[in-house]
A and B are shown apart, each in its own frame.
Chain A
Amino acid sequence: MSFFSRNKEKIIVTIIAIALILLIGFTSAERILLTKFERVLGNILSPIGKFTNSIGKNTSDFFKNVGEIGSLREENERLKSIISQLEEENRSFQDIIGKIDYLKNEAELKKTTKYNLIEAQITGKEPGNWYHRFTVDKGLKDGVKKGDTVIQGIQIDQNTIIEGIVGRVQDVGDNWSKIVAIVDENSSISFKILRTQDGGILTGNIERKITGYLFDDKADVIKGDKLFTAGLGGAYLKDIYIGEIESVLSDEEDLMKTIQIKAAVDFKKLHKVFIISN
Chain B
Amino acid sequence: MTIFILLLVVLVNFILQSTILPYMPILGVVPNISLLVVITISLYKGRLYGGIIGIAIGLIQDILFSPIIGLNAFIFFFAGYLIGLIENKLIKDNTLIPILLSIIGTVYYNFAYYIFMFFLSHEIEFLSFAKDVLLIETVYNSVLIVPIYKMFSKIFAVPQIRFGSK
User: Are A49 and B70 neighbours in the complex by a CB distance under 8 Å?
Assistant: no
Does A97 sit within 8 A of B, measured CB to CB?
Answer: no
Residues of B within 8 A of A64 (CB): 23-24
User: Are A24 and B19 neighbours in the complex by a CB distance under 8 Å?
Assistant: no
Nearest B residue to A22 via CB reads B70
Does A186 sit within 8 A of B, measured CB to CB?
Answer: no
Instruction: Known A56-B15, A56-B19; judge A24-B24 contact (CB<8 A).
Output: no
User: Are A38 and B23 neighbours in the complex by a CB distance under 8 Å?
Assistant: no
Closest chain A CB from B124 CB (angstroms)? 15
Residues of A within 8 A of B24 (CB): 60, 63-64
A59 to B120 Cα, complex, angstroms: 37
A102 to B67 Cα, complex, angstroms: 70
Q: For chain B residues 63-91, which have a beta carbon within 8 Å of chain A?
A: 63-64, 67-71, 73-74, 77-78, 81
User: Are B69 and A27 neighbours in the complex by a CB distance under 8 Å?
Assistant: yes
Nearest A residue to B78 via CB reads A17
A56 to B19 Cα, complex, angstroms: 5
User: Are A21 and B70 neighbours in the complex by a CB distance under 8 Å?
Assistant: yes
Does B57 sit within 8 A of A, measured CB to CB?
Answer: no
Does B98 sit within 8 A of A, measured CB to CB?
Answer: no
Contact of B69 among A24, A49, A56 (CB under 8 A): A24
Contact of A17 among B77, B116, B120 (CB under 8 A): B77
Q: For chain A residues 218-259, which have a beta carbon within 8 Å of chain B?
A: none
Instruction: Known A24-B69, A24-B70, A28-B120; judge A38-B19 contact (CB<8 A).
Output: no
User: Are A45 and B23 neighbours in the complex by a CB distance under 8 Å?
Assistant: no
Does B55 sit within 8 A of A, measured CB to CB?
Answer: yes
Closest chain B CB from A9 CB (angstroms)? 8
Instruction: Known A34-B69, A56-B23; judge A24-B77 contact (CB<8 A).
Output: no
User: Are A16 and B55 neighbours in the complex by a CB distance under 8 Å?
Assistant: yes
Contact of A42 among B14, B20, B64, B73 (CB under 8 A): B64
Contact of B74 among A20, A41, A46 (CB under 8 A): A20
Does A55 sit within 8 A of B, measured CB to CB?
Answer: yes
| Total count of chain A residues near the partner, CB < 8 A | 27
Interface of B, helix, strand, loop or mixed by DSSP: helix
Does A175 sit within 8 A of B, measured CB to CB?
Answer: no
Instruction: Known A13-B51, A52-B15; judge A27-B70 contact (CB<8 A).
Output: yes
A17 to B71 Cα, complex, angstroms: 11
A27 to B55 Cα, complex, angstroms: 16
Closest chain B CB from A115 CB (angstroms)? 72
A20 to B14 Cα, complex, angstroms: 20
Instruction: Known A52-B14, A57-B23; judge A24-B116 contact (CB<8 A).
Output: yes
A57 to B81 Cα, complex, angstroms: 33
User: Are B18 and A53 neighbours in the complex by a CB distance under 8 Å?
Assistant: yes
Closest chain B CB from A209 CB (angstroms)? 73
Closest chain A CB from B34 CB (angstroms)? 15
Instruction: Known A52-B14, A60-B23; judge A27-B68 contact (CB<8 A).
Output: yes
Does B60 sit within 8 A of A, measured CB to CB?
Answer: yes
Contact of A45 among B64, B68, B70, B78 (CB under 8 A): B64
User: Are A60 and B19 neighbours in the complex by a CB distance under 8 Å?
Assistant: yes
Does A23 sit within 8 A of B, measured CB to CB?
Answer: yes
A20 to B73 Cα, complex, angstroms: 7
Instruction: Known A52-B19, A59-B20, A60-B20; judge A21-B63 contact (CB<8 A).
Output: no
User: Are A38 and B69 neighbours in the complex by a CB distance under 8 Å?
Assistant: yes
Nearest A residue to B60 via CB reads A45
8 A-B contacts, Cβ less than 8 Å apart?
A17-B74, A20-B77, A28-B120, A34-B69, A52-B15, A53-B19, A56-B16, A60-B20
- Given A53-B18, A59-B19, 7 more contacts at CB 8 Å? A13-B81, A20-B70, A24-B68, A27-B70, A28-B67, A56-B15, A60-B19
Which residues on A are within 8 Å of B, measured CB to CB? 13, 16-17, 20-24, 27-28, 34, 38, 41-42, 45-46, 49, 52-53, 55-57, 59-61, 63-64
Which residues on B are within 8 Å of A, measured CB to CB? 14-16, 18-20, 23-24, 51, 55, 60, 63-64, 67-71, 73-74, 77-78, 81, 116, 120
Instruction: In the A-B complex, list the 8 residue pairs whose CB atoms are closest, starting with the nearest.
Output: A56-B19, A23-B70, A60-B23, A20-B74, A27-B69, A24-B70, A52-B15, A56-B20
